[in-house]
Amino acid sequence: MTLARCLAEQRKCLEYLRGGDGDWGCAVKITRFRDIPLFTGAGSWECDFDLHRGLRWIDQQVEECGLDLFPDFQRLHVWTEEQQVAWLEFFLRGGKTGRVFYFNHPGWMTTFEGDMVLVDGKQRIQAIRRFINNEIRVFGSLFSEYTDSPRLIVITLKMNVNNLKTRADVLRWYIEMNAGGTPHTEEEIEKAMRLLDLEAQ
């Protein structure tokens, strides 16, 4: 399947999933499970960090690898303070979902050449940063009011770095991660789709 046809089919699927004028599901009929196109795989490099060290690792990547935390395909900061607190409390209680942060660097663990970008986790990073900077209270307390270390919590943040080689691959990965649910608006997904279309030209 060519990239142009793949993009066209993805658009059709998104229209159906968003309540377009067709039946539920995609326009392409597939009769063998092995013919179902797979999503882009996650990166092979993944490391666990506690809350504070995870943020420190991100800041280190900004400084050393030029990590872009605000790539043009990402949405703006949309979580309310209430949502930030709710996710942090969920995480600190041992919540299992939303712990993995996804990045891409085409030269990761090889040449380290190319641009590193945040692909998924922007809202959660902002929540962690605000908590550590004593801007929001979690379980009623600012970060500085806690008397022990966040390292005592066994639940960790996972930083996953993929090494996709092209911007088109990164955009496709972002769309695959975010188009199936409801957190992103139609306009936000459409913006990423337009950027992917430009890469295909």
pLDDT digits 0-9 by tens, 101-112: 999 999 999 999
Number of domains in the chain: 1
When pLDDT is cut at 50, 70 and 90, the band that residue 188 belongs to is confident
Looking at the domain assignment, is residue 10 inside a domain?
Answer: no
Looking at the domain assignment, is residue 6 inside a domain?
Answer: no
Mean pLDDT of 121-142: 96
When pLDDT is cut at 50, 70 and 90, the band that residue 151 belongs to is confident
- Whether the predicted pLDDT of 185 surpasses 80: no
Expressed as residue numbers, the domain containing 72 is: 41-165
> Which range has the top average pLDDT, 15-19, 74-78, 177-181?
74-78
Where does 40-100 have alpha helices with state H?
Answer: 51-65, 81-92
Looking at the domain assignment, is residue 70 inside a domain?
Answer: yes
- Whether the predicted pLDDT of 137 surpasses 80: yes
Looking at the domain assignment, is residue 17 inside a domain?
Answer: no
Looking at the domain assignment, is residue 195 inside a domain?
Answer: no
Higher-scoring residue by pLDDT: 56, 189:
56
When pLDDT is cut at 50, 70 and 90, the band that residue 125 belongs to is very high
Mean pLDDT of 106-122: 94
Dihedral class, residue 85 (left if φ above 0, else alpha if ψ from -120 to 50, else beta): alpha
Q: 161 forms bridges with which residues in the sheet?
A: 45, 103
- Whether the predicted pLDDT of 140 surpasses 80: yes
Looking at the domain assignment, is residue 33 inside a domain?
Answer: no
What is the rounded CA–CA span in Å between residue 158 and residue 49?
Answer: 6
Looking at the domain assignment, is residue 32 inside a domain?
Answer: no
Looking at the domain assignment, is residue 122 inside a domain?
Answer: yes
pLDDT of residue 147: 93
